[in-house]
Amino acid sequence: MPFRIALSGLDAASTDLQVTGHNIANAATNGFKESRAEFADIYANSVQDVSTTSAGRGVRVTRVAQQFNQGNIDFTSSNLDLAINGEGFFVLEDSSGDVTYTRAGAYSADRDGYVVDHAGNNLQVFAPDGTGGFNTGTTEDLQLPLLSGTPAASSTVAAALNLDPTSVATADATVFDPSMPSTYDNATSTTVYDSLGVAHTMTMYYRESTTDNSWLVWSTVLDTDGATELVLDPSTGSISADPASGAYPAAVVTFTTSGALVPSVGSVDANGNIAYDAEAISGANDLSLTFDYSSTTQYGSDFAVNDLTQDGYAPGRLSGIDIDNTGVVFARFTNGQSEELGMVALAKFNNQQGLRQLGDTNWAETYASGDVQMGEPGSSSLGLIQSGGLENSNVDIAEQLVNLITAQRNFQANAQVITAADTITQTIINIR
């Protein structure tokens, strides 16, 4: 019987050595969670046994328990390197639809733009719902855009100006010619875009009229060839090529005696806007422009452009990926625009210890782990996302080396029990 007891001790110590060795071997593995061997004693009792004198039957390994405490986070130079600061697992799906869970966040983009781990498993995200939120009821593969960012035609030009009431044009008030600066008091330009993302220079000219506190505004846009000047006609709300007569139609903007814009007077509507609907941009859709003059003033100071913005933009190339701490993935383009691609999905379980290890730092759901609970980073008890960081293994090398020595001593001690039992057996055999 001592041989059996000592043999169970050798087996247990050997398992302890294997677990410790596995921990040490993965001390540098991102997202790895250390394990520990847990033991229980063995007693074989019957009805006639006297429990107070039972010596026991040895030891057995009850389980190898994983320890899911947080590992340190190291920062990297890749925004696709992700770490979870808190509870939760990244969700991965392979080509056959099998779902696994991991704490390792070293991701990259494959040839099709999908964000994958080293084994080609796709990182799962919640898709945008089109209203600024995300559809947390289902997940999809995260894919980076391969094409250029889609252009957008300009539709609104916001002009926050100050027009100087002391300005006086030197030419006849009935004449305007954009090539003659003497026929207008001030001018400013900006760039607008058509439906193809082609940039056009738009210029606005201002001249005080013969009526007090009233201004004439001319607006022109260069066509796709960069030479043909298109004129915005406030009377028809359209854009046309230069009139043969040279008579440029003007919009009328009126101010109060305090210098504030007067809505619903002249060419300005109740919201302080002047609207044009174009049909003359070559090769593109109709260009509809609304000029917002609600912030334009007529104060007794120099002409000033306080703000001049428009909402169109050219096509752009993907320039980078940003992921915030709530897991929202943004694609940045060279045209200054950004696009939400999704929100990184996190999973948690009631019993993490019940997850089945699959290797490659992945786990699978089991009956013992309970059903998976999906959620947004930072919600419930789920952690936040650290982009440009990787979670280190939670293995403490110093602790593991002490465990290694302890397991070795236990193995040697059990081997010594076998030696002692053999000596006793040999003594009994030698009795005559």
Q: Which of 275, 310, 345 is the last residue of a domain?
A: 310
102 domain-assigned: yes
Per-residue pLDDT at 135 exceeds 90: yes
Same domain, residue pair 353 and 416: no
Per-residue pLDDT at 242 exceeds 60: no
Residue 165's pLDDT is 87
Question: Residue-wise over 242-273: b if at least 16 C-beta within 10 A, else e?
Answer: eeeeeebbbbbbbbeeebebeeeebbbeeebb
Same domain, residue pair 173 and 218: yes
Q: CATH number of the domain at 284, please.
A: 2.60.98.20
17 domain-assigned: yes
With beta carbons less than 8 A apart as the criterion, state whether 394 and 34 touch. yes
Q: What percent of the chain has pLDDT over 70?
A: 90
Residue corresponding to tokens 């056009």? 200
231 domain-assigned: yes
Same domain, residue pair 173 and 246: yes
Residue 280's pLDDT is 63
Same domain, residue pair 174 and 238: yes
Residue 342's pLDDT is 95
Mean pLDDT of 62-89: 93
Q: Which two tokens stand for residue 296?
A: 């334009």
418 domain-assigned: yes
Residue 212's pLDDT is 87
Residue 284's pLDDT is 79
Distance CA 362, CA 355 (A): 10
Tens-place pLDDT, residues 62-72: 888 889 999 99
Crossing angle (nearest 10°) for helices 397-429 and 2-25: 160
Same domain, residue pair 234 and 296: yes
pLDDT band for position 234 (50/70/90)?
confident
Residue 145's pLDDT is 87
Distance CA 224, CA 278 (A): 14
Residue 278's pLDDT is 61
- Mean pLDDT computed over every residue of the chain: 86
Distance CA 313, CA 154 (A): 7
With beta carbons less than 8 A apart as the criterion, state whether 64 and 36 touch. yes
**Number of folded domains in the chain?**
3
Per-residue pLDDT at 23 exceeds 60: yes
Q: Which of 310, 342, 374 is the last residue of a domain?
A: 310
Same domain, residue pair 304 and 184: yes
Tens-place pLDDT, residues 294-340: 999 999 899 999 999 999 998 888 888 999 999 999 998 888 888 89
Q: Is 255 helix (H, G, I), strand (E, B) or coil?
A: strand
Distance CA 72, CA 187 (A): 59
C-beta atoms surrounding 428 within 10 Å? 8
Same domain, residue pair 339 and 249: no
Tens-place pLDDT, residues 358-377: 999 999 999 999 999 999 99
Same domain, residue pair 162 and 266: yes
Q: How far apart are the first and last CA of the chain?
A: 23
Q: Which of 246, 276, 310 is the last residue of a domain?
A: 310
316 domain-assigned: no
Per-residue pLDDT at 246 exceeds 60: no
105 domain-assigned: yes
Distance CA 7, CA 325 (A): 52
Residue 47's pLDDT is 58
| Full residue range of the structural domain in which residue 49 is found | 2-69+394-429
Same domain, residue pair 363 and 376: yes
Same domain, residue pair 166 and 275: yes
150 domain-assigned: no
166 domain-assigned: yes
Mean pLDDT of 17-38: 92
Per-residue pLDDT at 183 exceeds 60: yes
Same domain, residue pair 139 and 41: no
Tens-place pLDDT, residues 146-161: 766 788 899 999 999 9
Tens-place pLDDT, residues 253-266: 999 999 999 999 98
Mean pLDDT of 178-206: 89
Residue 220's pLDDT is 85
How far out from the chain centre does Cα 201 lie? 35
Same domain, residue pair 45 and 179: no
Residue 237's pLDDT is 58
Residue 315's pLDDT is 87
